[in-house]
């Protein structure tokens, strides 16, 4: 090989190495600057048990029986059911987030059973994710069946 071929080959190898290094560095920078995905959406990030409780408290305080229209049961019946199943459906708070209170869990389930609303509409009404609602409703229904099994007669 003559010296020109060796020089051209060396130059080509050096430029490939520099190109490879620049490409790798660009990928690292792009990884760092990826748009961050949140595991919780804004509507849920701003939620607190106070906002969910506020809705129920406003319905309870309304003199025109709005709570009964909302849940299809009287406040006394709601409180009775809540006292019977609250231990079964309550969850503990974690360091990451606060648990959805038993009162809200029961209200979500009763609203679902009363109206047949889909999880999406319940999601906006109670500020609880559809995934959480899909776990809450069967859990509360199961607890209601267990607690009220002596009072409910099911024909088979």
- Strand, helix or coil for residue 73: coil
Q: How many CA atoms lie within 13 A of 144 on its CB side?
A: 19
Query: What is the reported pLDDT for 47?
Result: 59
Query: What is the reported pLDDT for 67?
Result: 82
The residues spanned by each domain of the chain are 1-37, 42-147
Query: What is the reported pLDDT for 82?
Result: 92
Query: What is the reported pLDDT for 105?
Result: 92
Neighbours of 52 (CB within 10 A): 20
Query: What is the reported pLDDT for 81?
Result: 92
Q: What is the pTM of this model?
A: 0.67
Cβ contacts of 10 within 8 Å, gap of 6 or more: none
Query: What is the reported pLDDT for 94?
Result: 85
**Could you tell me the mean pLDDT of each successive run of 10 residues in the chain, 156 residues long?**
77 80 80 63 59 76 80 88 92 84 91 90 86 94 90 73
């Amino acid at each position: 090989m003559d010296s020109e071929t060796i020089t051209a080959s060396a130059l080509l190898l050096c430029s490939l190495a520099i190109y490879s290094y620049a490409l790798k560095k660009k990928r690292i920078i792009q990884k760092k600057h990826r748009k961050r995905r949140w595991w919780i959406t804004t509507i849920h990030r701003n939620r607190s048990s106070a906002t969910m409780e506020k809705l129920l408290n406003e319905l309870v305080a309304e003199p025109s029986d709005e709570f009964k229209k909302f849940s299809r049961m009287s406040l006394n019946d709601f409180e009775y059911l809540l006292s019977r199943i609250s231990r079964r459906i309550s969850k503990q708070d974690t360091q990451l987030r606060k648990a959805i209170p038993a009162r809200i869990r029961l209200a979500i389930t009763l609203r679902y059973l009363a109206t047949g609303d889909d999880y999406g509409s319940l999601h906006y009404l109670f500020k609880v994710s559809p995934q959480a609602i899909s776990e809450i409703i069967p859990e509360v229904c199961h607890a209601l069946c267990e607690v009220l099994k002596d009072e409910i007669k099911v024909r088979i």
